[in-house]
Copies of this chain bind each other. A is one copy, B any other.
Amino acid sequence: MTSVDLNSDMGEGFGPWKMGDDEAMLSIVSSANIACGWHAGDPIIMHRTAEIAKAKGVAIGAHPGFGDLWGFGRRTIRGDSMADLEKQMAYQIGAMQACAALAGHKVTHVKAHGALGNMINDDEDMAMAIGRAIKGVDASLVYVVMPTLPSERAAAKLGLPMAREVFADRTYDDSGNLTSRKTEGAIIHDAVHAAERVLRMVQDQEVTTVTGKRLKVAIDTICVHGDNPAAIAMARTVRETLEAAGVAIRPFRTA
């Protein structure tokens, strides 16, 4: 492997409120997942983030979530039919596409946010609903999935282009899913440790779980965060470590 994508969630302010340092992150990552106004983000922020991403050569994706601004899309909401969920996703993807168009950029991928992102890796019906929304809106959009989990299977079944993602700062259980944030050690705080782990994952195309099991996975993109200065520093270290090892940072798909 000579290249991989680095992605981060962005555009997570709303109206008068800001979150994270998107400018800094847009100089580190190759793909930006932009909130679509339902759990965060608004048209001004979506447009502005797309505009800066365009200027910096960063690919952009729609980052749809539950309609839960107050809960930031992190609360689990149950009760929507799969058909209804599909339309909620289409709405957000389309809104992002139009804001991107206005900024002269183009959406190339879709990644589910927060609770929704967790649910599609537990529940294949939900993963299929998100996939059908993507396909119905634009079948050339890349579905960001977690390898070995329901989201990857859904993308495969639907014949959608996919980007398999691993997380720089999280540990994995034997099913290939993230360990719960509540578990001791679930989150990796040391930047150098995270960067070396990422490099190994990318070079070996495998994930080592908390029990030591090694899962063969294809890795297209690595998720990093920009919520706070430490996260940004870790993202930078991950990038530098990969580049130092000869791995180029490049979007998995260009517009």
Contact = CB atoms under 8 A, between A and B. Distances in A.
B136 A102 contact: yes
25 contacts: A14-B70, A17-B17, A17-B19, A37-B91, A43-B84, A46-B87, A46-B91, A47-B87, A47-B90, A68-B77, A74-B79, A75-B80, A76-B78, A77-B77, A79-B115, A87-B99, A87-B102, A90-B102, A91-B99, A94-B94, A94-B98, A95-B98, A97-B98, A102-B133, A102-B137
A13 interface: yes
A133 B37 CA distance: 18
Most buried by B among A70, A76, A80, A133: A70
Nearest to A80: B75
A32 interface: no
Nearest to A135: B102
Chain copies in complex = 4
Interface in A202-217: none
B94 A96 contact: yes
Given A75-B80, A94-B94, A136 B101 contact: yes
